[in-house]
């Protein structure tokens, strides 16, 4: 995220083992929670990629490669994995809703991400004062415009969390939504970096949920 490589690598050093421990815990107790428990670990990998972007400054090739790896999580992992992870926690009658979220999130993310490989100047990584800004062109700029694109993205990433029938998952969604608001108000110049970093920190709530016994047993979820 912003600040420095040290901040990104420190975040990764916290999130990676925390996520791995949460996944192990859910594997031993309730395997429906494994995908949601993987979120901190995935955020940790993304933060490690941003740390590598920082340390590659001056080497354009490495900056491009690590930026592409970072944006894979931003564009593809989050709008697909988030609804996918909630899917396993929901009763059968609600599962199709989250399948729809994952499909359309994948369509949006794929059409935004894969053109980076065909157009060298579509992903531009700028090193600002204690921040990294990922800019450039996006395919949907030519179709619906960037504000509408980001509204759809937010819907596919945060919507499944807020619509979950599990209260602790909804709380996590509210935490991520708070990060979104703070990012929009104070860090618009590096919104992708800051939003993902904040989301990573908020995912530690999931680790707490899993180890504190905040998971709901099968059949206990209530429709909202």
Number of domains in the chain: 1
- CATH number of the domain encompassing residue 179: 1.20.1070
In a domain, 100, yes or no: yes
Question: Cα 157 from chain centroid?
Answer: 7
Q: Is the pLDDT of residue 217 over 60?
A: no
**Containing domain of residue 71, as a range?**
5-211
Q: How far apart are CA 206 and CA 188, in angstroms?
A: 26
If one counts every other C-beta atom within 10 angstroms of the C-beta of residue 82, the result is 27
Average pLDDT over residues 37-50: 96
In a domain, 97, yes or no: yes
Residue 143 exposed, middle or buried by CB count within 10 Å (0-12, 13-18, 19+): exposed
The per-residue pLDDT of the chain, averaged, comes to: 90
Q: Is the pLDDT of residue 76 over 50?
A: yes
In a domain, 148, yes or no: yes
**Range with the poorest average pLDDT among 100-109, 157-166, 189-198:** 189-198
pLDDT of residue 223: 41
pLDDT of residue 186: 80
pLDDT of residue 84: 96
Question: Pick from 119, 103, 19, 105: which is nearest to 68 by CA?
Answer: 119
In a domain, 117, yes or no: yes
pLDDT of residue 215: 61
Question: Pick from 176, 47, 68: which is nearest to 115 by CA?
Answer: 68
In a domain, 223, yes or no: no
In a domain, 216, yes or no: no
pLDDT tens per residue, range 52-72: 999 999 899 999 999 999 999
In a domain, 156, yes or no: yes
**Range with the poorest average pLDDT among 30-44, 45-59, 137-151:** 137-151
Supply φ then ψ for residue 89, to 5 degrees: -95, -10
In a domain, 190, yes or no: yes
């Amino acid at each position: 995220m912003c600040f420095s490589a040290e901040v990104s690598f420190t975040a990764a050093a916290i999130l990676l083992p925390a996520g791995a421990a949460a996944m192990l815990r859910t594997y031993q107790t309730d395997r429906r929670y494994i995908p949601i428990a993987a979120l901190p670990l995935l955020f940790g990998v993304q933060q490690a990629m941003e740390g590598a972007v920082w340390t590659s400054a001056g080497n354009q090739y490495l900056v491009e490669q690590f930026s592409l790896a970072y944006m894979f999580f931003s564009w593809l992992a989050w709008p697909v994995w988030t609804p996918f992870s909630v899917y396993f926690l929901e009763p059968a009658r609600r599962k199709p809703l989250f399948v729809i979220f994952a499909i359309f999130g994948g369509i949006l993310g794929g059409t935004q991400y894969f053109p980076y490989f065909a157009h060298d100047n579509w992903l531009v990584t700028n090193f600002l004062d204690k921040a990294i800004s990922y800019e450039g062109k996006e395919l949907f700029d030519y179709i619906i415009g960037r504000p509408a694109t980001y509204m759809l993205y937010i819907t596919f990433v945060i919507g499944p969390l807020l619509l979950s029938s599990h209260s602790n998952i909804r709380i996590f969604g509210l935490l991520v939504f708070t990060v979104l608001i703070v990012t929009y108000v104070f860090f618009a110049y590096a919104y992708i970096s800051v939003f993902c970093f904040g989301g990573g920190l908020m995912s530690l709530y999931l680790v707490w949920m899993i180890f504190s016994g905040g998971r709901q047993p099968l059949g206990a979820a209530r429709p909202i």
